[in-house]
Amino acid sequence: MSVDSTVDLREITFLTAEGEPASLADYAGKVVLVVNVASKCGLAPQYEQLEELQRTYGDRGFTVLGFPCNQFMGQEPGSMEEIQEYCSMTWGVTFPILDKIRVNGSHAAPLYKALKKTKNPEGASGPVMWNFEKFVVTPEGRVHRFRPQTKPNDPAIVSVIEAALPA
């Protein structure tokens, strides 16, 4: 599914872990997997599969972007330094971990406000259900949404990534 065509996802800014402005335009031409992450979540082992995708496809025009979020039962309480250290030391994460955000509610990050308009494979759009909800954004701006329980290496996600990789 595509996000509302009046919104260009590439123009929506967010902050890096260092507080610098960034946007999907910085990843032009790449397939981007946007995921809200949480260190204390039972789904945190998905970091390993996210990193596996990064290592498999990173040199072919792909990147994971992890957005820490503390909205679901306070499962990402740490500082940015603590989150980055956890991701690096526990899971060997090399993909960008960006600034902590909100994904739902009136103070949701603008990128997530736009992404949540995308329907998942069951046809539902709307709020992010939990940590580790995934959005694959193709270089053309098409968005594919996957629920938290869908593992990053699920064939449905991998096929979308492989089909959208630059030639």
Catalytic residues: 41
Q: Which two tokens stand for residue 105?
A: 């509610």
| Dihedral of alpha carbons 89, 94, 95, 99, sign | positive
* E-only strand ranges, 25-160: 31-37, 62-68, 134-137, 143-146
Per DSSP, the residues of 141-161 read -BEEEE-TTS-TT-HHHHHHH
Q: Give the side-chain half-sphere CA count within 13 A for 59.
A: 2
Cα–Cα distance, 32 to 22 (Å, whole number): 14
CA distances from 88 to 47, 77, 96, 121, 167 (A): 10, 17, 11, 31, 31
